[in-house]
Amino acid sequence: MAEGLLGIGPVSGLTGLSERQIRYYESQGLIAPRRTPGRQRLYGPVEVARLQQIRKLLDEGHTLHAVRRALGQQRSALAAESDVRSRLLSGQALRSLYPVTNRAELERMISQHDEEEDDVD
């Protein structure tokens, strides 16, 4: 197991959540653990803290929908990061380390970069 990463059992003990709850929150996109080439879930400090935050919000009486909204801004970034990590761990080729989430913004940035290079020449 990679250094600093924990399997689902120890994470369950640290967070007070059942393994089933942890897998459910993953399926809902609230967390995105790393995966080994054998697909075993690995959790780092960020995922453990996020699970603790989810549990705290739920214990305070918030609905899962409210928790999802509260954490939603980070969800797409976590999913993209997890996909990159999974591909790297499994040896799959990546076209980019930064998955495109806003194509228009990416094209603007490329165009701006090309213009800056032209100014330097």
> What is the CATH classification number for the domain harbouring 28?
1.10.1660.10
Any domain includes 25: yes
Is residue 20, in this structure, part of any structural domain at all? yes
Q: From CA 71, how far away is CA 78, in angstroms rounded? A: 11
pTM: 0.57
pLDDT class for 114, splitting at 50, 70, 90?
low
Identify the three-state secondary structure at position 114: helix
Domain extent for 18: 8-120
pLDDT tens digit sequence for 26-48: 988 888 899 888 989 999 998 99
> Which class for 41: exposed (0-12), middle (13-18), buried (19 or more C-beta within 10 A)?
buried
Q: What is the DSSP letter of 37?
A: T
Whether 2 is covered by a domain: the verdict is no
Report how far residue 12's alpha carbon sits from residue 30's, in angstroms, rounded to the nearest whole number.
16
d(CA 109, CA 57): 38
Written as six digits, the tokens of 56 are 């705290």
Q: Is residue 1 part of a domain?
A: no
- As a whole number, the mean pLDDT across the chain is 77
Tell me the mean pLDDT in the region 58-70: 89
Q: Which residue has the higher pLDDT, 30 or 117?
A: 30
For residues 37 and 90, is the Cβ–Cβ distance under 8 A?
yes
Please report whether residue 3 resides in a domain.
Answer: no
Looking at the structure of the chain, the number of domains it has is: 1
> Residue 97: pLDDT above 60?
no
Overall average pLDDT of the 99-111 stretch: 63
The reported pLDDT for the residue numbered 98 is: 53
